[in-house]
Structure formats: structure tokens, C-alpha cells
Chain A
């Protein structure tokens, strides 16, 4: 029974994914610019959230350094935008964030719980204020202009980054390193005692997750055209992925995608339709989710699914 169901389910899920991808890839051909630009923001949030969840999902280390990695990508784009061709620029933005994350990782991953959260938040703020100080004292001007790129290219690059981020997540989750990361999240002490080199594993995973945030920042900068430390290192980019991932649920691969897509769409909608109630509604939704859906939307969906497929055994377990 089980095997039949798995074989049957796989092509269906794959086919659905493929269909969604084709749909997303062809959207700029028949949709006006504005929705495409909005969609780019939605996908940007998906990338940051999925990137965040690569590390913080299984290990349960809540990182608030997303804004640092995203902002570094933005600044790389602003500084090198005129020199490097676009694909190289994006990769480079990701790489600089990757290297920054390696350093931060080696410094902070000894910290746990609250200390780690505060430290990562402090790092983002430190970089933001340092840049602000640097620009006011040494550059004479705050902020920079970024070479603009047309909105369709921005959209496609963001889409490609999101696909790569999802693929990476999928591969890590399925590999033995996915299991190791989850054991770290469950009990780090025990994980080291069964032979897992937790420091290296955490640091590299943290850096991989930062790569995608940096890449997203690098391409996003070309759409915003003007950036300064306040825009690039906006703390909101540290908090949003956490909220979106929790809203969607980090237990499943699609959780962060769902959470980011829904909340980002909601943000786009509320900001234009109900600008005064935006934060109010947003906050209310979050409180409800955190109170009543501890494992997010994905947790709810999985519960329904299990109920559907295991109905007849419902009373046999415990």
C-alpha cells in the first residue's frame, strides 16, 4: 500500500511543481509590469525566508542577522555594479555574505538561545551603524546610486535564486547532514557525543543560508536604484524571515515558502489598500498563528493529511 501511494504521489507533486515553475517563468510575457514587480518582492521574501530556514529551521538557532547578509549583498551590488557583469555581481554578493557568515559563525555559534539571538541582531546593527558612520565621516555623502536593471531581468534572476535556494534546502534535508542539523536542534550535547562536528556543520550551514540572502540583496539593489545603510540594513529584514518561517512552519520544506508568499502578498495588499491598518492586521495574524498554530500552516496541513490517510488507525497509536 505504502509503496503504491508513494510512487503515485511523486509524479503528481513533481508535475505540479513543474507547472508552477512554468507559470512563474512565463508571467512577465503576459502580465503588466506592476504585478511582476510586486511578485519580485514576494519571491525576494521567499528567498530570504527559505535561506533563513536552511540554518535556523533544523538547528533552532534563531538568527537575526538576515539583514546583515541581505544588506551586504546590496552594498556589493552598489559598489561593484558598474564593474561586474550581472550574474557575476549576484554570485559575488552571495559570496561576500557567505564569508561574513563564516566569520560571524565562528564567533557566535558557541552562544546559545537568547545570547545567540541578541548577538546576531547586534551584528546587523553594528554593520549598519558602522557604514553610516563611515559614509558620513569619510565619504561625505550617505547612500549610493545603483546601476538599474530592467524589472523583467530582476524578476528572472530572483526566480532563479529562489529555485536554487529551494533545491539546496531539499538536498540538505534529504542528506545525512540534514539529519545531523536536526539532531543539533534536538540536543546539541548529545550530537557532539555521537561524532558530529557541530561547530563546522553549523558554521557552513549558516554561511550557505547567508549566501542566498546576499544574492537576493545584490539583485534587489538594482531595482531600488538608491540605497543607504538604513534601507540596506533595515532590521525588518531580520525579523520578517523569522515571522514568515514561523507562520509557514519550518517542519516542512514548503512551510517557509508558504509563509513568505502569503505574508509578503498580504503586505503588498495591505500597504496599498489599508495603509493605516497594515501593521495592526499583520500583528493580529501573527499573534493568532503563534498562539494556535505552533508548527505553522505546514503543521496544520500535515495534520489534516495524516488524518486523511490514517483515519482507520486513529485509535491504535497510544
Chain B
């Protein structure tokens, strides 16, 4: 079943075409990678899906229903959560409060405060932050800030998670841990759509990869296909 579909998605910033007629679809339970050189329109596409930005034209459907035009909070409640390229945490709140807020407000149906607290605690444990619950989010090192963002996204009980470069800024050890976490999230049955520059990670985790270049989709396929695709290699390495 298709969980997310995009049809003729366009986004113009003035005269600049950030996204030009992009079609894509993501099946339930899949992990799909989104790659492309800087400025290809990857984050813009995420912003359109999550409702941060309005699309200039085209339609994005979640579970067959149109979500273009909805507000970010409505899209979140439908079951789409995201993380940000540079962690956007509630810096002055504690780690626990960050997760709690998402748990309280992110779901379609309201949840009681004790239930939300329990859930927030479990999620902090899941991502490995249970010992720093009382620390202010701004005091966390980068790797843990990324984990907290993942925990906060998970707290909204998403069926589709958009990861915008969760690996950026991590060292090799932290990257391995992040890979482990991503596998654990996949095992929960959550569909993943992720932007990543770390090729090793994306090749390993994803079932399918979509390549954007100058706002257009130039290739799509399994990691093996993409790795040997001539156009993709040319775009990345130059002709």
C-alpha cells in the first residue's frame, strides 16, 4: 500500500525552481532514501510534505488523502513526523519535557498526562537518553540532541518518519549507534523517508533511493542500481 504519494510537485522561490514536477511514492513499511547534491531540493521536498512550506503546484497524498494545504500540526496528527537538518529542540526545556510535549500534542486522539509521561520515559529509554531526562536540551552534545529529536518525533506516534540528515555531524561510533537506532525504528514498522549524505548508511538502510538534482528527480531504484547509475555518478563526480 502506498503511504505517501507526490504528483507533479513544484515549488518556486521567485523565479528559482526548487522543485520541478517531482513524482514519487513510498510504500508502507519501506525505507526510502533521498539523495542529491547540495541545493537539489531535498529539504524543500520535506518542507512541503510536513507542511512547513506551501507547494506552488502539485499534490501530496498521505494514505490516499491530500495533505497539501494542511498546517504542520494537522499533518503531524495524521501520522507524519519529521526531524530537522540542524536539531530544532526546545532548548530551554528538559530532555523529558521535549519528549512529553510531543507525546501530549502529537497524536490524533488526546492522551492523558500520566500516559504521556510514561510514554515519554519509554521513548527516552528507547533512544538511550533515560539518564539525562532532567538535563536541559541545550546542554546535550550534538549526537544526543539528534537522538532527542528522534525521540520527540517518535512521541507523536508517526507511521511515516522523515529524517533530515540524522547522521550529519556524528563521528563513526555515533554513526554506528544511529544506524542501530534506525534499524530498531524500522522494526517497529514505521515507514522511513530519509535525506542522507552518508552513502554507506543510506546504502545499508534503504530499500530504495530517489535522486534529486536541480529540483528534478533524475533517478530512482535500489541502492545497487543507484550506485551504478551513470547519470547519478556524473551528477556527483562531474563528467
Contacts and interface: CB of A to CB of B under 8 A. Distances in A.
B218 interface: no
A190 B106 contact: no
A186 B101 CA distance: 12
A216 to B, nearest CB: 30
Interface string A157-192: 000000000000000000010011011011101111
B20 interface: no
B196 interface: no
A194 B76 contact: yes
A82 interface: no
A196 interface: yes
B14 to A, nearest CB: 21
Binding site secondary structure of chain A: helix
Interface size class of A (residues with CB under 8 A): 10 to 19
Contacts of B153: 194
A195 B88 contact: no
A198 interface: yes
A10 interface: no
Q: Is the interface of B mostly helix, strand, loop or mixed?
A: helix
A153 interface: no
A20 B100 CA distance: 35
Interface string A103-138: 000000000000000000000000000000000000
Contacts of A182: 90, 92-93, 97
Contacts of B155: 194
A190 B89 contact: yes
A318 interface: yes
B73 A195 contact: yes
Given A186-B91, A187-B88, A187-B89, A192 B73 contact: yes
A96 B84 CA distance: 41
Interface string B101-129: 11011110000010010000000000000
B104 A187 contact: no
Interface in A188-242: 189-198
A185 B77 CA distance: 21
Interface in B35-85: 50, 52, 71-73, 76-77, 81-82, 84
Given A176-B105, A176-B113, A180-B105, A194 B92 contact: no
Given A182-B93, A183-B93, A194 B71 contact: no
A189 to B, nearest CB: 6
Given A176-B105, A186-B92, A190-B88, A195 B156 contact: yes
A198 to B, nearest CB: 7
Given A182-B93, A183-B90, A318-B139, A192 B101 contact: no
B147 interface: no
A187 B91 contact: yes
28 contacts: A176-B104, A180-B101, A180-B104, A182-B90, A182-B92, A185-B92, A186-B90, A186-B91, A187-B90, A187-B91, A190-B84, A190-B90, A190-B152, A191-B90, A192-B73, A193-B76, A193-B88, A194-B106, A194-B152, A195-B73, A195-B77, A195-B102, A195-B156, A196-B101, A196-B105, A197-B71, A197-B73, A318-B139
Interface of A: 176, 179-180, 182-183, 185-187, 189-198, 318
Interface of B: 50, 52, 71-73, 76-77, 81-82, 84, 88-93, 97, 100-102, 104-107, 113, 116, 139, 152-153, 155-156
